[in-house]
Amino acid sequence: MGLTIRTLAAATASVLLLWSAAHSQAPSDPPAGPARLFADNCAGCHGADRAGGRGPALTEARLVARVDAQLRHTIAAGVPGTEMPAFGGTLSNTQIAALAAYLRTPAPATPPRHPFVPSPDGQVLHTQKQDVRVEVVARLETPWGMVFLPDGRMLVTERPGRLRIVARNGALLPAPVSGLPPIHAGQDGGLLDVAIHPDYRRNGWIYLSYSEADPGSSADPVPRTMTVAIRGRLDANNRWTDTQTIFRAPSARYTTSGSHYGSRFLFDRHGHLFFSVGERGDMRNAQDLASPLGKIHRVNADGSVPADNPFVHTPDAVPTIWSYGHRNPEGLAWDPVTGLLWESEHGPFGGDEINIIEKGRNYGWGVISMGKQPGITGTSAPGMEQPVVFYTPTIAPSGITFYSGSKYPGWKNSLFVSGLAGQQLRRLEIHGRQVTAQEILFDKFGRTRAVVTGPDGLLYILLQNPTGLGTGVGLSESTPGMIIRLVPIK
């Protein structure tokens, strides 16, 4: 069952797919061959060419020392205490035997590198419902979040720790905003999202999320860090002033992990601020209501706790929690038609999710997943939500937005999903609580981190040059990036 779901999701990589629900597949579909099984379940760790990555190379030289029964046992039972998962729960004995036999055949040649176009300016995209031309707006480093000010300027975060201003004419101001609090940049952390108060014209509040080191651990070789949210203002000289804390966890929640800080901001119409915090690499946090990690939080604009939050009366629960059981959510958006809150989150190894977030619900991380994770065998459980759609192999979804402007008529009310590993921008057609169609708008301009609609009604997208396998740059390194926009043609 888990396998057929994953195989179906893998097929979404083709340009357009219609399906009624993510969890249905015709029983007559042929069983997947071992090469496909390996690509879907193993290649992410062992490499498509079996040359290794997160897991060891599975070459003949290594495996010659193992008998087939050992290989089958390793695949079925995993290797406890390592990242090698047990597949006994999701693959049949026949499939496991086929995989073990497949490992004895010559490894396929390294697949061609993902095409990457470092200068997309002027590229024309012919898509299902709209043709667009890519325009580069500004170049900067590992951009993470952006927001437009009412005067047309754009604020953009660079993950290494800089808040940049793009003038109305598109010029990137050379000097970053000065006077930000100390930011700990490393691995997934740094300066992350930026948002403005819905009533910004009157109060000037700007919200920033970032990772900081616990002052008590700054002398440690690996400082303990955590996601923080603040607000402040820009003065006439573009200096950061008036800092107020919106969210800061107790020191005991800071960890030496460098992963999964979240953290996307989204205001609702009533002035509540939603923001996401990842589980910081320990999935137990996601199920623990006493921990702020692995949660979507909801606060008032000043950081105080709304009285109608779901866990305000639960003993020991963090009162800002809105939903839990999340791994690393990096995207939040309102559906303009239904008013539902949509979210994207990174899965462990495959199993990236798009969810509808509802008050007090448990999204299952730590217990269930559509991806591979040691310690997780199930894909569903009572009282835990299922994703609307999920992605295996991974696309590493980050920022998402619904389009409600009028510049691309065929895209009205579509959900746009950026993907880091997938280097892609996806368009999802949504009807109620279902994704009815998907399209990849591009997949070759680099890691795609965020997408927002500008005041001109155009989609603006943050890109970063690829990292990780085959690029010569570590997966979480900072690299050059840019802001692009999609200009409709005709």
Which positions touch ligand HEC (CB under 6 A)? 41-42, 44-46, 54-56, 58, 62, 66, 71, 74-75, 79, 82-85, 87, 99, 349, 372
Length of the chain: 490
Give CA torsion, residues 331, 197, 185, 366, to 10 deg.
-40
- Name the residue among 384, 460, 445, 451 with its Cα closest to residue 417: 451
Distance CA 401, CA 336 (A): 10
Neighbours of 106 (CB within 10 A): 7
260 is catalytic: yes
Least distance from ligand HEC to the Cβ atom of residue 32, Å: 12
Least distance from ligand HEC to the Cβ atom of residue 33, Å: 13
Is residue 267 within 8 Å of 198, Cβ to Cβ?
A: yes
Least distance from ligand HEC to the Cβ atom of residue 62, Å: 5
Q: Which is nearer to ligand HEC, 44 or 223 (CB)?
A: 44
Least distance from ligand HEC to the Cβ atom of residue 283, Å: 13
> Could you give the strand order of the β-sheet that contains 480-488, starting from the edge strand earlier in sequence?
124-126, 131-141, 480-488, 459-464, 447-453
Q: Which is nearer to ligand HEC, 62 or 239 (CB)?
A: 62
Q: Which is nearer to ligand HEC, 90 or 465 (CB)?
A: 90
Q: Which is nearer to ligand HEC, 71 or 376 (CB)?
A: 71
Q: Which is nearer to ligand HEC, 62 or 359 (CB)?
A: 62
Q: Across the strands, what pairs with 447?
A: 464
Of 46, 184, 260, 297, catalytic: 260
Q: Which is nearer to ligand HEC, 56 or 468 (CB)?
A: 56
Least distance from ligand HEC to the Cβ atom of residue 100, Å: 7
Write the Ramachandran bin of 167: left for phi over 0, alpha for psi from -120 to 50, otherwise beta.
beta
Is residue 476 within 8 Å of 258, Cβ to Cβ?
A: yes
Please confirm whether the linkage preceding 143 is cis (ω < 30° from 0).
Answer: no
Contacts of 295 (CB under 8 A, 6+ apart): 276, 277, 286, 318, 321, 322, 323, 324, 326
Is residue 263 within 8 Å of 316, Cβ to Cβ?
A: no
Least distance from ligand HEC to the Cβ atom of residue 55, Å: 3
Strand, helix or coil at 233?
strand
Write out the catalytic residue numbers.
Answer: 260
